Structure 1
Amino acid sequence: MRRSKPEKREILPDIRYHHIIIQTLIQHMLTRGKKSTATRVMYDSLDLIKERSGGKNPVEVFDA
């Protein structure tokens, strides 16, 4: 008898920007389960986007 398929888990938004796409990217960046490192890299890159775009919202710049 075949096993049943696992249920899809709901992806919760990230803590800082409350955006699901940011959390999905963090999960895809994971290497060997180092979620805190992947989170730090993602937030550092978003801070860099904010600096270089003149203070605009980095999620909107990233989404565009």
Structure 2
Amino acid sequence: MRKAKPKKRIILPDPRYNDVLVTKFVNNIMLEGKKSLAFKIFYDAMDIVASKIGEEENALDVWKKALANVTPSVEVRSRRIGGATFQIPSEIRPARKQSIGMKNLIGFARKRHEKTMGQKLAGEILAAYREEGAAFKKKEDTHRMAEANKAFSHFRF
């Protein structure tokens, strides 16, 4: 590569939980620059999660566990070799892993059929925490696909 790598932007922690990971998640929720609305959605979802699980566990811990449950560790990449396209399983670097997990959780929350986005997100977080739901299924499918194509891992680039 000719150019230098771009600098990593510093992300400030969120006001309620004082956690950088929460801010990254909220940045993924945000549409059209409406960050305060994205924070409101996330905090509403966390309040719903806290009320649903009771106070035996912290809502932030439930969210972190849910995020860990939907974060894939391997993915398949298409590679064309001699006229045939192979799905080659490869490890994912940590930053991308985290990003994929967040985007899956938010994307499948948007597709749910609750009334508000806060309720949808809370439902998906609770489902992911219990290792069920669409985002968790997506991770399982990704891992299953990588397992099925393990024979092509020697083509790794």
Whether these two folds match at TM > 0.5 is yes
Q: Which amino acid aligns with 2:49?
A: I
Q: Which has the larger radius of gyration?
A: 2
> 1:62 — aligned with what?
63
Q: Which amino acid aligns with 2:34?
A: K
TM-score by length of 1: 0.84
Q: What's the Cα RMSD here?
A: 1.6
Q: 1:12-58 CA deviation, whole Å, 9 max, x = no partner?
A: 21110111211111001111100011000000000111101112311
Q: Tell me, in whole angstroms, the C-alpha distance in 1 between the residues paired with 2:4 and 2:64.
A: 36
> 2:35 — aligned with what?
35
Q: Tell me, in whole angstroms, the C-alpha distance in 2 between the residues paired with 1:60 and 1:5.
A: 34
| Structure 1 alignment gaps of length 5 or more | none
Residue correspondence of structure 1 range 10-25 to structure 2 within 5 A? 10-25=10-25
Aligned residues: 63
Deviation for aligned residue 1:7? 1.6
Q: Tell me, in whole angstroms, the C-alpha distance in 2 between the residues paired with 1:60 and 1:4.
A: 37
Deviation for aligned residue 1:5? 4.8
SS in 2 for 1:8: coil
Q: Which amino acid aligns with 1:8?
A: K
The ranges of structure 1 where at least 4 consecutive aligned residues each deviate by more than 6 angstroms after the TM superposition are none
Structure 1 residue 26 and structure 2 residue 26: aligned?
Answer: yes
Q: Tell me, in whole angstroms, the C-alpha distance in 2 between the residues paired with 1:61 and 1:28.
A: 19
SS in 2 for 1:40: helix
SS in 2 for 1:51: helix
Deviation for aligned residue 1:6? 3.6
